[in-house]
């Protein structure tokens, strides 16, 4: 195929393959590259076609060196004039200086850490460069490209996937580079069966003017010359929009079907309208509830009256009173002759919930049990017996609640705090404790991580949502300021004043002990602070490597104000409620995520006295780190912080894991594509509820990946 030939990907030159054809059978892959692809979960033709370009270049017409303007991005086809790696003083971190030319002039380029290019580039070689043109800071009259994207071409190998078209750029997979992937993808696209089944029903495609799945795959990988490169690079071409909609649609359909299955399960419909239940709810309230708490409890109560399981998310900022709402729901369950369970991800949080529940419930006659791994054998055995015989009304614990030896007399209500920290199977095992009695439990999920609607429709799309958007009365806003290590003496002086006034202080560090990261460590700083900075005060140390007994001992002393200053790692991020603590100092604040900083700050401001959070960071940091800390100083609104966090990190990292990939999204982005997400959810739920559409559902479900069918138990319809 010569350089000017047009790619004809619509007419296969060989018999079509199947989507489950092993990827090594595709031209340009082979056994070795198939092993590389397998490491990225790419095993078949279908998997490979889901590996989509992350960028596109217009190579129909290349720019010339003569027309380059600083500040703009260009794609050039040039030849190498010369190249040289210039090393630093110690022989490391070479900068590769490259000089290229075309018919209109020459252009210098720089590649930092570019020693790998030393033996790859030779005079006369043809290159394609894509990058931003900048002004050379040392020679302002000269233009240059710094670290441009580069492809090495040789004239005998040029074909229509390289030039004369809009060219897809793929992320390299090990030694399988973008150019080689593009050639293999060209062969894969030619192999797409002409009668490829479409996941989206024809009527829906017509309604929304969406192209077929086959056409969308072809045009996303190898767009026609008339497509807009600008739209392609922001994922707004018709073909890309179709694939984005499809990913959202099938995911939302799985949620809709899952909800239908849940509503076919039996749950105990609780009685709520009796005076004794209303009186019980009033008796346990330690303060007048906020309007948001009343609204949330009303929504929960309406669910609890139904004969199928509640599945509801209670979402509220730190300190908004989620726990008391969950305990009210537990009381409803207890008053209906069932038991309740509250599962937390850490022992510290479980103990905190246990103490809160014990303080609120035991004075009015309810028995609360704690179950954590660190308990003594005798205590644990006694607690298990009281749960099994029904003497205990509420069990609070960690994953210890789902151990095989934990039996309930009649479990009717389950609350799960910070659900994203538990695996799917862990949550299911707790719910199965109720299923042994012939019914499913009502489930309330709590989270202190405010989640914007667009992300909650994916992460928690199977749950109804209640939001606590008010703080209880008596809380004072937290004042946050940013400072540098140079001003630490003044920071320590403010901490002394807090303690002298009878208050308590947290000092948080990012690591437990000294590491190669050159960060201050909690253990070392605890020793230094106790000896040199706060010799007159009582200091405590809390980190994740302490035993359960040691952690609880430290926390008890801190709650009783026998420890004035608690030096800790992020183990205090959740579950620590000490209203007398009014100051938090976070060193190396630039190393923490925005959500993590917000959770840490939520440990103070829990009483009526004014609280201060001081973020200590270097004067110079990355733009993203600066944006995080500026956000913390600007606002204490968790929902605003969550929105900023999503913009800075993207939905994939919102919970510290690649959630988008976990959800099976290859191209869809819940934040960027929120309009398509809303549309896909509407259409998916409408299809699931239409009893005349079972054939269409069957067709769609057969096209879903097997792991999705297992995860959402969808095989029942196919």
Asked if the model's pLDDT at residue 635 lies above 80, the reply is yes
Dihedral sign (CA 559, 561, 562, 566): positive
Q: Which top CATH class is 275-468?
A: alpha beta
3-state secondary structure at position 395: strand
From 428-432, 480-484, 614-618, the region with the lowest mean pLDDT: 428-432
Q: What is the pLDDT of residues 460-487, one digit of tens each?
A: 777 888 988 887 776 777 999 999 999 9
Residues 3, 587: Cα–Cα separation, whole Å: 58
pLDDT at 562: 95
Residues 73, 56: Cα–Cα separation, whole Å: 13
Q: What is the mean pLDDT of the chain?
A: 85
pLDDT at 649: 67
Q: Which two tokens stand for residue 662?
A: 């976990």
Residues 114, 103: Cα–Cα separation, whole Å: 26
Dihedral sign (CA 567, 573, 574, 578): positive
pLDDT at 653: 52
3-state secondary structure 449-475: CCCCHHHHHHHCCCCEEEEECCCCCCC
Residue 118's CB is within 10 A of a number of other CB atoms, namely 12
The domain segmentation of the chain, as residue ranges, is: 1-59+166-196, 61-163, 197-264+640-718, 275-468, 478-635
Residues 549, 133: Cα–Cα separation, whole Å: 60
pLDDT at 316: 84
Asked if the model's pLDDT at residue 543 lies above 80, the reply is yes
pLDDT at 437: 75
Share of the chain above pLDDT 90, in %: 46
Largest Cα–Cα distance in the chain?
A: 90
Q: Compute CA distances 138 → 17, 134, 135, whole Å.
A: 56, 12, 9
Asked if the model's pLDDT at residue 648 lies above 50, the reply is yes
pLDDT at 133: 94
pLDDT at 698: 72
Q: For the CA atoms of 591, 594, 600, 606, what is the dihedral angle to 10 degrees?
A: 150
pLDDT at 5: 39
pLDDT at 157: 52
* CATH topology agreement for domains 275-468 and 478-635: yes
Q: Residues 515-526: what's their mean pLDDT? A: 81
What DSSP line would sit under 481-493, residue for residue? Answer: EEE-GGGHHHHHH
6 — pLDDT class (breaks 50, 70, 90): very low
Residues 120, 621: Cα–Cα separation, whole Å: 35
Asked if the model's pLDDT at residue 673 lies above 70, the reply is yes
Q: What is the pLDDT of residues 230-240, one digit of tens each?
A: 999 999 999 99
Q: What is the pLDDT of residues 13-57, one digit of tens each?
A: 555 577 888 999 999 998 999 999 999 989 999 899 999 999 998
704 — pLDDT class (breaks 50, 70, 90): low
Q: Residues 450-456: what's their mean pLDDT? A: 71
From 357-361, 367-371, 691-695, the region with the lowest mean pLDDT: 691-695
Q: Which two tokens stand for residue 468?
A: 């606590």
CATH superfamily of 61-163: Nucleic acid-binding proteins (2.40.50.140)
Q: Residues 359-377: what's their mean pLDDT? A: 91
Q: Residues 365-384: what's their mean pLDDT? A: 91
660 — pLDDT class (breaks 50, 70, 90): very low
Q: Residues 191-208: what's their mean pLDDT? A: 87
| Domain 1-59+166-196 falls under CATH 1.20.1740 | no
| CATH, range 478-635 | 3.40.50.300
Q: What is the pLDDT of residues 222-275, one digit of tens each?
A: 999 889 999 999 999 999 999 999 999 988 888 888 788 777 888 899 998 888
Q: What letters, b where the CB count within 10 A reaches 16 and e where it falls short, cover 420-434?
A: bbbeeebbebbbebb
Q: The tokens 């090393």 sit on which residue?
A: 87
pLDDT at 32: 93
pTM above 0.85, yes or no: no
pLDDT at 663: 57
8 — pLDDT class (breaks 50, 70, 90): very low
Q: What is the pLDDT of residues 590-606, one digit of tens each?
A: 999 888 898 899 889 88
Residue (of 151, 179, 164) closest to 223 by Cα position: 164
90 — pLDDT class (breaks 50, 70, 90): low
pLDDT at 419: 62
Q: Which residues lie closer than 8 Å to 476 by C-beta, 6 or more apart?
A: 605, 608, 609, 610, 611
The answer to whether residues 116 and 92 touch, using CB atoms and an 8 Å cutoff, is: no
Residues 116, 483: Cα–Cα separation, whole Å: 41
Q: Which two tokens stand for residue 697?
A: 């559902």
Q: Compute CA distances 433 → 121, 340, 535, whole Å.
A: 65, 11, 51
From 501-515, 529-543, 636-650, the region with the lowest mean pLDDT: 636-650
Dihedral sign (CA 29, 33, 34, 36): negative
pLDDT at 714: 47
């Amino acid at each position: 195929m010569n350089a000017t030939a047009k790619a004809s990907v619509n007419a296969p030159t060989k018999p079509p393959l199947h989507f489950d054809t092993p990827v090594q059978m595709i031209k340009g892959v082979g056994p070795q590259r198939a092993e590389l692809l397998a490491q990225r979960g790419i095993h078949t033709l279908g998997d490979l076609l889901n590996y989509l370009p992350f960028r596109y270049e217009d190579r129909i017409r290349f720019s010339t060196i003569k027309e380059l303007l600083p500040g703009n991005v260009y794609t050039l086809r040039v030849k190498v004039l010369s190249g040289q790696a210039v090393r630093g003083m110690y022989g490391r971190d070479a900068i590769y200086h490259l000089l290229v030319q075309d018919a209109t002039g020459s252009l210098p380029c720089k590649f930092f850490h570019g020693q790998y290019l030393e033996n790859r580039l030779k005079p006369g070689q043809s290159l394609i460069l894509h990058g931003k043109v900048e002004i050379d800071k040392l020679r302002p009259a000269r233009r240059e490209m710094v670290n441009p994207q580069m492809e090495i071409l040789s004239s005998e190998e040029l074909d229509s996937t390289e030039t004369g078209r809009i060219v897809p750029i793929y992320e390299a997979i090990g030694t399988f580079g973008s150019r080689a992937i593009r050639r293999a993808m060209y062969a894969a696209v030619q192999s797409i069966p002409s009668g490829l089944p479409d996941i989206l029903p024809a009527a829906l495609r017509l309604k929304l003017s969406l192209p077929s799945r086959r056409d969308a795959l072809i045009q996303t990988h190898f767009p026609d010359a008339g497509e807009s490169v600008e739209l392609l690079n922001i994922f707004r071409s018709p073909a890309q929009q179709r694939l984005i909609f499809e990913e959202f649609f099938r995911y939302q359909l799985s949620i809709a079907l899952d909800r239908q299955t849940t509503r076919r399960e039996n749950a105990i419909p609780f009685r709520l309208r009796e005076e004794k239940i209303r009186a019980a709810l009033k008796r346990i309230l330690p303060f007048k509830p906020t309007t948001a708490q009343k609204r949330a409890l009303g929504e929960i109560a309406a669910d609890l009256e139904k004969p199928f399981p509640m599945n509801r998310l209670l979402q509220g900022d730190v300190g908004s009173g989620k726990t008391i709402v969950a305990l009210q729901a537990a009381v409803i369950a207890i008053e209906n002759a069932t038991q309740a369970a509250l599962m937390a991800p850490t022992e510290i949080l479980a103990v905190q919930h246990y103490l809160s529940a014990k303080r609120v419930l035991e004075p009015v006659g309810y028995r609360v049990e704690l179950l954590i791994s660190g308990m003594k054998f005798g205590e644990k055995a006694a607690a298990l017996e009281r749960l099994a015989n029904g003497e205990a009304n509420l069990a609070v614990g960690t994953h210890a609640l789902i151990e095989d030896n934990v039996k309930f007399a009649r479990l009717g209500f389950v609350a799960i705090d910070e659900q994203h920290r538990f695996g799917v199977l862990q949550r299911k095992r707790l719910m199965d404790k109720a299923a042994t009695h012939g019914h499913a439990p009502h489930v309330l999920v709590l989270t202190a991580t405010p989640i914007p609607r667009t992300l909650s429709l994916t992460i928690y799309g199977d749950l109804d949502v209640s939001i606590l958007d008010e703080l209880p009365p008596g809380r004072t806003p937290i004042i946050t300021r940013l400072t540098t290590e140079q001003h630490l003496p003044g920071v320590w002086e403010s901490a002394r004043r807090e303690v002298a006034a009878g208050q308590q202080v947290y000092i948080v560090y990012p690591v437990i002990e000294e590491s190669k990261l050159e960060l201050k460590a909690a253990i070392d700083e605890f020793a230094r602070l106790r000896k040199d900075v706060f010799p007159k005060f009582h200091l405590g140390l809390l980190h994740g490597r302490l035993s359960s007994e040691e952690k609880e001992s430290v926390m008890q002393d801190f709650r009783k104000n026998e420890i004035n200053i608690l030096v800790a790692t992020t183990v205090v991020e959740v579950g620590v409620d000490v209203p007398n603590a009014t100051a938090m100092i976070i060193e190396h604040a630039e190393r923490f995520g925005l959500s993590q900083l917000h959770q840490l700050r939520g440990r103070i401001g829990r009483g009526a006295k004014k609280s201060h959070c001081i973020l200590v960071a270097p004067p110079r940091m990355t733009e993203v780190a600066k944006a995080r800390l500026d956000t913390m100083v600007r606002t204490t609104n968790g929902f605003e912080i969550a929105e900023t966090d999503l913009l800075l990190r993207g939905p994939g990292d919102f919970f510290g894991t690649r959630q988008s990939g976990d959800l099976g999204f290859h191209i869809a982005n819940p934040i960027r594509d929120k309009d398509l997400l809303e549309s896909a959810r509407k259409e998916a739920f409408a299809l699931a509820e239409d009893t005349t559409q079972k054939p269409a559902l069957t067709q769609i479900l057969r096209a879903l990946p097997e792991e999705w069918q297992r995860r959402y138990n969808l095989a029942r319809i196919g």
